[in-house]
Amino acid sequence: MDVEALKREAGIAACDYVNDGMKVGLGTGSTVKYTILELARRVREDGLNIVGVPTSIQTQKLALEEGITLAELDDLDGLDVVIDGTDEYDPNFQLIKGGGAALLREKVVAQASASMVVVADDRKKVECLGSFALPIEVTPFSHLTTLRALEDLLSCNVTVRMQGDQSLLTDNGNLILDAHTGPSILDPATVEREILSLAGVVQVGLFIDMCDAVILASSDGVTVLTNPVGRLVQSNSSQA
């Protein structure tokens, strides 16, 4: 099975976490795209009633085109679940996200959600975070000063993400710096805290203690990996 087919399987499988009447965070990326398409199909054909909150302009456009009702996060009292992709996840369900440059909105939505389900193919599974360059959203103001401070802090090369011959701008009008740490982020919570202490940093693509389950697609099929200390396990225990 090719990579695109694996993404599709994972994206569709994640829809099983969405029930009628839910408020759903809609992530950004090539895998969660299939979740959005499948949710839209269930809305049209099965009468599924949901309200979505998109994590990017790209996702907002797709959801509206497919007929999913959207709302502003500020107008809702939290979300039931967010379904999103990831660039890496480790054995402790810690994530690196931001390959699609939507990490700030993705983290805002994730923090407002009662649970987070991640869709991924098996290339995203790592023993130690950092092979995928760590995305860091920064203000344009004196961004090279921030870049140098990050290089000093992380002891690695940091680059400005480009889009063609121009610096990429996020949906929030900021820049993305990519920190090439290599697979060395053994304590992601500390790394996140230290990066956020720099004044020019808006947000960092480390998602700590947020992921409750990974829907993993591989050549062997789709596997659901549930975080043993996650909110889905705690919720099921309280209902038992």
Average pLDDT over residues 160-182: 98
Which range is least confidently modeled, 1-10, 32-41, 224-233? 1-10
pLDDT of 240 strictly over 80: no
pLDDT value of residue 2: 86
pLDDT value of residue 221: 87
pLDDT of 47 strictly over 60: yes
Same domain? For 182 and 213 the reply is no
Quote the CA–CA distance of 98 and 201 in Å, as a whole number: 14
pLDDT value of residue 1: 62
Same domain? For 146 and 227 the reply is no
Which CATH number fits the domain that encloses residue 191? 3.30.70.260
Average pLDDT over residues 58-74: 98
Segments forming the whole domain that contains residue 84? 3-125+208-239
Same domain? For 13 and 111 the reply is yes
Identified catalytic residue from 88, 106, 137, 192: 106
Average pLDDT over residues 13-18: 97
pLDDT value of residue 238: 59
Predicted TM-score of the model (pTM): 0.94
Tokens (6 digits) for 92 = 């402790």
pLDDT value of residue 214: 97
Quote the CA–CA distance of 105 and 167 in Å, as a whole number: 19
Q: What separation in angstroms does the CA of 221 have from each of 11, 28, 54, 72, 201?
A: 13, 23, 28, 35, 39
Instruction: Give 239's pLDDT tier (boundaries 50, 70, 90).
Output: low
106 counts as catalytic: yes
Cβ contact 27:85 at 8 Å:
yes
Q: Mind listing the pLDDT tens digit for each residue in 116-140?
A: 999 998 899 999 999 999 999 999 9
> Phi and psi for 207 in degrees, rounded to 5?
-110, 105
Same domain? For 69 and 143 the reply is no
Same domain? For 164 and 196 the reply is yes
pLDDT value of residue 237: 55
The domain total for the chain is 2
Which CATH number fits the domain that encloses residue 73? 3.40.50.1360
Average pLDDT over residues 90-115: 98
pLDDT of 32 strictly over 80: yes
What's the mean per-residue pLDDT of the chain?
95
Considering only residues 234 and 109, tell me which one the structure prediction assigns the higher pLDDT.
Answer: 109
Same domain? For 118 and 146 the reply is no
Percent of the chain predicted with pLDDT > 70: 97
Same domain? For 98 and 191 the reply is no
Instruction: Give 234's pLDDT tier (boundaries 50, 70, 90).
Output: low
Same domain? For 10 and 99 the reply is yes
Same domain? For 215 and 113 the reply is yes
pLDDT of 26 strictly over 90: yes
pLDDT value of residue 83: 98
pLDDT of 105 strictly over 90: yes
Same domain? For 157 and 72 the reply is no
Q: Which among 150, 140, 148 has a CA at the least distance from the CA of 172?
A: 140
Average pLDDT over residues 167-193: 98
Quote the CA–CA distance of 53 and 108 in Å, as a whole number: 11
Same domain? For 110 and 27 the reply is yes
Same domain? For 119 and 140 the reply is no
